[in-house]
Chain A
């Protein structure tokens, strides 16, 4: 319409298209109902207007049929919208199995991203096009919310636990990153941009800016420094459970329940070890709450995840970071 005003945000992921189609559908339905009611109101107001205060309208008290019609029909329409949008909602929150992992922490008024290869970025994120990317993030102080308008996704960063969003960018270029949950004075300053790059350019960028070793290696170093390996021995002979092959499995707990070993459980066991002690072990692991920054916790979590198959641990994590597996269907 006007050169200055763009009516629709850029569409940089397949998911954005789904959200837009749903948006068009609801806009259409709403516009239809709005027009129908407005036309009727104006038509009746004009057709039956009078200036004689003593005039009296027709004795109409209502009609059950009409009432039922305009209660059931709108409800059915809303159910169609409900099912379609629930479908889109599930797509938004169901990451495919093979995704490029990126960790992030929201801190008052900046986003800090950590790539597996060890690269750290503030308020900027470089991602390859065409590959599903999953960002697992938390907040270090107050509520924040990671919002990519171009990908139509958003999730609150809640201190004390992990949140995660995923997307598959399918357009090159630079897109907005906003903080959408009010977090104080420079809430409007906690913005940045995501750079979607060709896979080749992405690799170049990755190798070009390698930071202090990969995340896994940093985790490994921390694992040693904090003497985790004294209890968590890989063959299970230590006082703590062996961590090899643990990620993704489910663990029997001393309290009787079972828990899926995912990033959240690993993080909680590092910071609140007594919360869910594994069956057959004593709750004697000290808490690291306050001793470890969120970044270090993520490095340790990444290291434990890399212990999936202890033999080719080193090469596997390298492989994941650089070549990456064949991209999942291009969602």
Chain B
């Protein structure tokens, strides 16, 4: 394959001015813009995490002061949740790949797509400004009455940042939903859609229904703190638990916003690198929708010990077990897809398989925290910290990297070094397990969350965890290195380096500014690896 290709027009080289990037309405360029901002936020959040782990290497609080430590874990939480995990896959990979997968020229509302990037950046700037001018120390959950009465840090400023970024999530969700409904290529029926599109549809559904509730919650908190209104104030007879209800009504579905798109990416990668169609297509598709819908019924499993009534705790615990089943179905279906497939162990597949390993443990430890009797002991301990990191980092971030490795040739037209990518996958997998494995034991031992200093008997496990964190950091930096390196000296990847099905692989890479020469028409099912000789790019 000729290493130097004829000068083809692509979305990258058709315009070079700064305005062509900052005022672009091309979904592919907007995906790149998101990639830059989210990667910055990821390393900022990672910096906070490193400082937190350094502090926790010793039982006494001797690395940073208590206030600084509280600000560090709060800003780690806020940065990672609102500025990395929620936008990562939908805004970067989704923005780039969705129109290509649908055979459309762009998303339904390109101007709104650009607006959501600007809203995201403005929200991020507000939050960074809050961090720079003193930070916020309420935890990413902003529980009242500490956040409304007792904390003297920039709660309102961070709240405004989160409020504004929420609109970016709403607008992206709205954009994707209308695109999937109205802009599919002819012949592309719902059951021929790639599973990544199903996952993005379910995510948009959750983004549209959930995000407004945290917007009003943060607004109510800002008004209560700023103008001394009395909605959650116990002194006036208000109920702090009401804030938790309103907060978790969004924040639990938010974890499904974080995990569904990576699940979609994993379905794509598993199917492509098993060289066969996914096992139980409609079950995997509908499990995404089931997760999105049931996700709204279970929020109070975060509040089993915070004073809700026994009866409602029973109801929420039962519903939480119901919402765990679709995720289990997905994992079983991925495993079954490998059966009698032609498993081509390239880099994206390595990331996807480690996703399955880690998400499996994350999901199963959810069974512990959903069980009422155990959660009373486990709530607010390091067991919960380990559980959600297994889902967020082991699941969402691994899925994001799997997707990134899978679509990188399509995005940049270049191929990264496969060896280094596999090495990085193994380093991240091992570093991750060493970081968060010991925290399960710490959790059951009873070490509470958000502790600046802890009793000495927990030190050994904490030192293991801090060691794991450094390995994890090395893994992530390694990914950054060989990805950036591939931009310059990566070999030219053909139009379909993985020989995959899907409309995005039928066009050139990097794609044309308007995606397709001729409107593609879909005639066969998704993941049809047998029907025809796959065109090698």
Contacts and interface: CB of A to CB of B under 8 A. Distances in A.
A and B touch in the complex (CB under 8 A): yes
Interface string B449-460: 111111101011
B461 interface: yes
Interface string A3-47: 011111100000000110011001101100110011011001100
A264 B282 CA distance: 53
Interface string B278-319: 011111000000000000000000000111001001100110
Contacts of B446: 9, 147, 149-150, 176, 178
A185 B444 contact: no
A44 B339 contact: yes
A108 B342 contact: no
A142 B150 contact: yes
B441 A5 contact: yes
Nearest to B440: A27
Given A84-B373, A147-B448, A38 B441 contact: no
Contact of B305 (A29, A71, A154): A154
A187 interface: yes
Interface string B191-234: 00000000000000000000000000000000000000000001
B453 A85 contact: no
Nearest to B438: A5
B136 to A, nearest CB: 12
Interface in B354-380: 356-357, 360-361, 364-365, 367-368, 371-374, 376-377, 379-380
Contacts of A41: 335, 338, 353, 356-357
A52 B499 CA distance: 11
B393 to A, nearest CB: 18
Interface stretch (A58-66, A118-126, A218-226, A229-237): A58-66
Interface stretch (B29-37, B96-104, B105-113, B141-149): B141-149
B529 A188 contact: no
B274 A57 contact: yes
B451 A187 contact: yes
A142 B451 contact: no
A191 B452 CA distance: 12
Contacts of A63: 280
A182 B374 contact: no
Contacts of A34: 360-361, 364
Given A81-B367, A85-B373, A143-B146, A59 B453 contact: no
Nearest to A62: B280
Interface string A118-148: 0000000000000000000000011101010
Contacts of B410: none
A2 B353 contact: no
A7 B440 CA distance: 10
Interface in B499-536: 499, 529-530, 534
A19 B377 contact: yes
A152 B452 contact: no
How many of chain A's residues touch chain B, expressed as a range? 35 or more
Contacts, number: 289
Given A60-B339, A71-B325, A92-B376, A185 B345 contact: no
Interface stretch (A157-165, A239-247, A299-307, A321-329): A157-165
Interface stretch (A72-80, A97-105, A196-204, A208-216): A72-80
Contacts of B282: 62
Interface residues of B, number: 94
B114 to A, nearest CB: 37
Contacts of B331: 37
B274 to A, nearest CB: 5
A156 interface: yes
A227 interface: no
Contacts of B356: 37, 41
A281 interface: no
A269 to B, nearest CB: 14
B46 interface: no
Contacts of B274: 48, 57
A158 B343 contact: no
B367 A78 contact: yes
B356 to A, nearest CB: 6
A82 B380 contact: no
B321 interface: yes
Given A37-B331, A51-B344, A176-B455, A30 B441 contact: no
A48 B374 contact: no
Most buried by A among B276, B317, B372: B372
Contacts of B16: none
A30 B450 CA distance: 27
B307 A163 contact: yes
A37 B335 contact: yes
A291 interface: no
B47 interface: no
A155 interface: yes
Contacts of A150: 446
Contacts of A172: none
B498 interface: yes
Given A41-B353, A49-B343, A184-B150, A23 B374 contact: yes
A2 B463 CA distance: 14
Contacts of A23: 368, 374, 444
B342 A56 contact: yes
A99 B204 CA distance: 52
B145 A159 contact: yes
Given A49-B343, A85-B372, 16 more contacts: A2-B460, A6-B445, A23-B444, A41-B356, A56-B529, A60-B276, A70-B332, A84-B371, A86-B372, A89-B372, A142-B145, A142-B149, A160-B239, A161-B307, A180-B381, A182-B139
Interface of B: 61, 66-67, 70, 137-139, 143, 145-146, 149-151, 234-235, 237, 239-241, 274-277, 279-283, 305-307, 310, 313-314, 317-318, 321-322, 324-325, 328-329, 331-333, 335-336, 338-345, 353, 356-357, 360-361, 364-365, 367-368, 371-374, 376-377, 379-381, 441, 444-446, 448-455, 457, 459-461, 498-499, 529-530, 534
30 contacts: A7-B445, A9-B444, A19-B376, A22-B373, A34-B360, A34-B361, A44-B335, A44-B339, A45-B353, A48-B341, A49-B344, A51-B344, A61-B281, A62-B336, A63-B280, A74-B325, A75-B321, A75-B322, A81-B371, A143-B306, A153-B377, A160-B240, A179-B448, A180-B305, A181-B143, A184-B146, A187-B452, A188-B61, A188-B450, A188-B451
The 4 closest A-B pairs by CB, nearest first: A149-B446, A57-B276, A88-B373, A57-B341
